[in-house]
């Protein structure tokens, strides 16, 4: 691993992103618009917004980063630049870490905007510390990045990469406790839910909203989300092959 | 008809011994052996699909090989120690279209740990200094492939493996690039340049003619013309294939 190379990659990814105004807008504006839509839909029912708001703060960065990263890395794989990079001294981990740093940075901005909007103008009631919401959102974005990097190894076209969204992301969204609390699910599904990282991210958001202090459960949630992101990055690194057929 | 009179160990930048590459159940390169001398421009010629790209990928260590050995600058191809000593130009330009020319070079220079000052030099070499601030995606195909070539020149590498570097370029630019290749060779760089345009063969110090994954000739252009009595390399190629007697083999599947 080389920090210098990691930052070179991160800087390059951010430069590319800066040129792509539409994607920047999608990354930063869409989560805020959706949150506002949710708030408007509940039309003053604070309890309902309080129930769905925090999980959505976990979902947006996850989904958006998953999509952006899977397509971007796939482009790198198919354009020949990945092959070229793998003939250079660059470590495989440097590349993925560079992506994670760049998109993690974007996630900080995204999470800041979405959390700020939710607890500010939209009046989301949070008992815990607001900055913890942002930290969980950023971890969640990195998790989305890591899974996106991972699935891009199994897609041959951008079209296929996008199809991984319903396959990999939607089951996690259904089982994360947003629609049915996890302890009310049938045993099998509760067990599956326990194995999915997004469940812990949503749980963390709900913890912050309910309890004012930092709880043991919250530590566990944060550790699982961060651990899953690292594990997905590690497996993603394994899918980069210097030699191909 | 393969002429194997290369120097044994010294003076060879590349040594390939009984290389066998299988792709999709097909022996794209069944059994290839040759050596490439240091500080020369060696042309790798043959029709599209004859295995040139596969061979070049084996030289830079990104091709899975079934058997055989590939030694580059005295080490097995693709070993970490070689990664900033070998420059590789892929056939399709592998640079980022949404970055400017200068940003592309800056990024690759950082990755290669080459001094950033070199980016200006290599742009001069490929005659793109005027376009440093242009987005690569807005350049013409020929300009884009020259940006890719400029990246390959960063380092600077001791061995340059160039897959069809002159495709789609106008004759003046092609001549300039060949002058550059010879200048690099004169300063000690070894170049392996593939082409499917036979008229470029005469510009090479040495030629490897390939067909269906096999080497049909390995000689200097002049010796090739002399031994076959052909008027040009195209004629020599046909004559060599004729005498090798492997008339109509399948064209293979690789680009």
Question: Is A213 within a domain?
Answer: yes
Q: Which pLDDT belongs to residue B44?
A: 94
Question: Is A245 within a domain?
Answer: no
How far is residue A203's CA from residue A57's CA, in Å, rounded to a whole number? Answer: 11
| B113 and B74, same domain (yes or no) | no
Question: Is B248 within a domain?
Answer: no
- Residues of B within 8 A of A89 (CB-CB) are 80, 83-84, 111-113
DSSP B90: -
Q: Which pLDDT belongs to residue B5?
A: 43
What is the value of ipTM here, to two decimals?
A: 0.86
Q: Do the Cβ atoms of A15 and B88 come within 8 Å? A: no
How far is residue B83's CA from residue B87's CA, in Å, rounded to a whole number? Answer: 8
| B71 and B184, same domain (yes or no) | yes
Task: Give yes or no for a contact between A8 and A91, defined as CB atoms under 8 angstroms apart.
Answer: no
- Residues of B within 8 A of A18 (CB-CB) are none
Question: Is B200 within a domain?
Answer: yes
DSSP B47: -
| B185 and B68, same domain (yes or no) | yes
Q: Is A1 on the interface with B (CB under 8 A)?
A: no
Q: Is A242 on the interface with B (CB under 8 A)?
A: yes
| B51 and B115, same domain (yes or no) | no
pLDDT (average), residues B51-64: 93
| B147 and B58, same domain (yes or no) | no
> In this prediction, what percent of chain B has a pLDDT beyond 90?
66
On the 0-12 / 13-18 / 19+ scale of CB atoms within 10 A, B223 is middle
Structure tokens at B134: 């242009």
Question: Is B35 within a domain?
Answer: yes
Q: Count A/B contacts: CB-CB distance under 8 Å.
A: 76
Task: Give yes or no for a contact between A38 and A53, defined as CB atoms under 8 angstroms apart.
Answer: yes
Nearest to A244 among B64, B99, B112 (CB): B64
How far is residue B103's CA from residue A19's CA, in Å, rounded to a whole number? Answer: 12
| B113 and B16, same domain (yes or no) | no
DSSP A211: -
Q: What is the pTM of this model?
A: 0.86
Task: Give yes or no for a contact between B166 and B197, defined as CB atoms under 8 angstroms apart.
Answer: yes
Q: Is A88 on the interface with B (CB under 8 A)?
A: yes
Span A59-101, pLDDT tens digits? 888 888 888 888 888 888 888 899 899 889 898 889 888 988 8
Q: Which pLDDT belongs to residue B236?
A: 87
Strands, E assignment, chain A: none
Structure tokens at A102: 């760049």
pLDDT band at B31 (very low <50, low <70, confident <90, very high): very high
Question: Is B123 within a domain?
Answer: yes
Q: Is A24 on the interface with B (CB under 8 A)?
A: no
Residue B9 has pLDDT above 50, yes or no: no
* Bridging pattern class, strands B214-219 and B206-211: antiparallel
Q: Do the Cβ atoms of A8 and B111 come within 8 Å? A: yes
| B164 and B75, same domain (yes or no) | yes
Instruction: Say how many domains are in chain B.
Output: 2
Helices (H) and strands (E) in chain A, counts: 11, 0
Task: Give yes or no for a contact between A65 and A141, defined as CB atoms under 8 angstroms apart.
Answer: yes
Domain that holds residue B19: 9-85+160-168+176-237
Quote the longest CA-to-CA distance of chain B: 53
Question: Is B247 within a domain?
Answer: no
| B38 and B76, same domain (yes or no) | yes
- Testing the interface with B: which of A4, A84, A85 to mutate, by most B Cβ within 10 A? A84
For position B68, which CATH number holds? Answer: 3.40.50.300
Share the mean pLDDT of chain B.
87
Residues with Cβ within 8 Å of residue A191, at least 6 apart in sequence: none
Find the closest chain B residue to A2 by CA distance: B111
* CA separation, residue A203 to residues A59, A181, A221, B35, B141 (Å): 11, 10, 7, 63, 51
| B215 and B148, same domain (yes or no) | no
pLDDT (average), residues A108-131: 89
Structure tokens at A166: 């319903």
How far is residue B235's CA from residue B147's CA, in Å, rounded to a whole number? Answer: 34
Span A156-165, pLDDT tens digits? 888 888 888 8
| B53 and B115, same domain (yes or no) | no
Sort residue B253 into left (φ over 0), alpha (ψ -120 to 50) or beta: alpha
Structure tokens at A97: 């870490």
Question: Is B49 within a domain?
Answer: yes
Question: Is A185 within a domain?
Answer: yes
- Residues of B within 8 A of A79 (CB-CB) are 92, 94, 96
Domain that holds residue A103: 3-238
Question: Is B3 within a domain?
Answer: no
Instruction: Mean pLDDT check: name the lowest of A54-58, B36-40, B116-120.
Output: A54-58
Tokens 């996630």 appear where?
A: A107
Task: Give yes or no for a contact between A156 and A77, defined as CB atoms under 8 angstroms apart.
Answer: no
Nearest to B99 among A9, A12, A85 (CB): A12
Nearest to B98 among A8, A19, A80 (CB): A19
* Bridging pattern class, strands B67-72 and B75-76: antiparallel
How far is residue A11's CA from residue A94's CA, in Å, rounded to a whole number? Answer: 12
Residue B246 has pLDDT above 60, yes or no: no
How many other CB atoms are found less than 10 A from the CB of residue B18?
Answer: 11
pLDDT band at B138 (very low <50, low <70, confident <90, very high): very high
Task: Tell me which of B198 and A140 has the higher pLDDT.
Answer: A140
* CA separation, residue B103 to residues A12, A49, B57, B241 (Å): 8, 45, 26, 46
| B110 and B129, same domain (yes or no) | yes
Question: Is A243 within a domain?
Answer: no
Task: Tell me which of B233 and B181 has the higher pLDDT.
Answer: B181
Question: Is B47 within a domain?
Answer: yes
* CA separation, residue B11 to residues A135, B5, B77, B189, B227 (Å): 59, 13, 17, 12, 25
Give bridge partners of residue A84 from the DSSP assignment. Answer: none
| B51 and B100, same domain (yes or no) | no
Task: Give yes or no for a contact between B189 and B86, defined as CB atoms under 8 angstroms apart.
Answer: no
């Amino acid at each position: 691993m080389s920090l210098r190379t990691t930052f070179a990659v991160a800087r390059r990814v951010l430069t590319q992103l800066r040129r792509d105004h539409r994607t920047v807008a999608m990354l930063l504006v869409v989560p805020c618009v959706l949150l506002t839509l949710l708030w408007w839909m509940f039309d003053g029912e604070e309890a309902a917004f309080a129930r769905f708001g925090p999980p959505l703060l976990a979902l947006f960065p996850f989904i958006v980063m998953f999509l952006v990263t899977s397509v971007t890395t796939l482009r790198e794989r198919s354009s020949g630049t990945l092959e070229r990079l793998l003939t250079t001294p660059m470590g495989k981990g440097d590349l993925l870490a560079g992506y994670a740093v760049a998109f993690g940075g974007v996630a900080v901005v995204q999470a800041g905007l979405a959390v700020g909007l939710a607890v500010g103008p939209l009046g989301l009631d949070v008992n815990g510390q607001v900055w913890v919401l942002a930290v969980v959102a950023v971890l969640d974005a990195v998790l989305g990045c890591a899974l996106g990097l991972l699935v891009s190894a199994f897609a041959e076209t951008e079209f296929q990469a996008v199809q991984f969204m319903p396959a990999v992301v939607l089951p996690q969204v259904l089982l994360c406790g947003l629609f049915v609390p996890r302890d009310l699910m049938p045993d099998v599904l509760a067990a599956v839910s326990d194995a999915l990282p997004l469940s812990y991210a949503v749980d963390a958001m709900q913890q912050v909203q309910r309890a004012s202090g930092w709880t043991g459960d919250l530590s566990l949630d944060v550790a699982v989300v961060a651990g899953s992101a690292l594990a997905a990055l590690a497996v993603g690194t394994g899918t980069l092959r210097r030699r191909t057929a | 008809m393969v002429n194997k009179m290369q120097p044994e160990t010294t003076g060879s930048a590349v040594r390939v011994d009984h290389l066998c590459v299988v792709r999709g159940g097909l022996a794209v390169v069944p059994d290839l052996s040759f050596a490439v001398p240091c500080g020369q421009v060696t042309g790798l010629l043959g029709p599209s699909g004859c295995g040139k790209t596969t061979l070049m990928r084996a030289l830079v260590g990104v091709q899975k090989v079934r058997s055989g050995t590939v030694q580059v600058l005295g080490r097995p191809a693709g070993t970490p120690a070689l990664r900033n000593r070998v420059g590789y130009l892929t056939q399709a330009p592998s640079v980022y279209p949404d970055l400017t020319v200068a940003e592309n070079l800056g990024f690759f220079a950082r990755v290669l740990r080459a001094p950033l000052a070199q980016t200006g030099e290599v742009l001069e070499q490929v005659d793109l200094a005027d376009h440093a601030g242009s987005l690569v995606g807005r350049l013409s195909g020929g300009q884009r492939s020259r940006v890719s070539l400029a990246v390959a020149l960063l380092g600077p590498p001791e061995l340059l493996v160039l897959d069809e570097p002159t495709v789609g370029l106008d004759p003046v630019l092609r001549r300039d690039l060949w002058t550059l290749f010879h200048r690099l060779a004169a300063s000690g760089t070894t170049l392996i340049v593939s082409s499917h345009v036979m008229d470029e063969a005469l510009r090479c110090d040495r030629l490897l003619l390939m067909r269906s994954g096999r080497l049909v000739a390995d000689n200097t252009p002049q010796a090739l013309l002399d031994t076959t009595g052909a008027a040009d390399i195209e004629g020599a190629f046909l004559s060599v294939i004729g005498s090798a007697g492997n008339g109509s083999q399948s064209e293979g599947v690789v680009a």
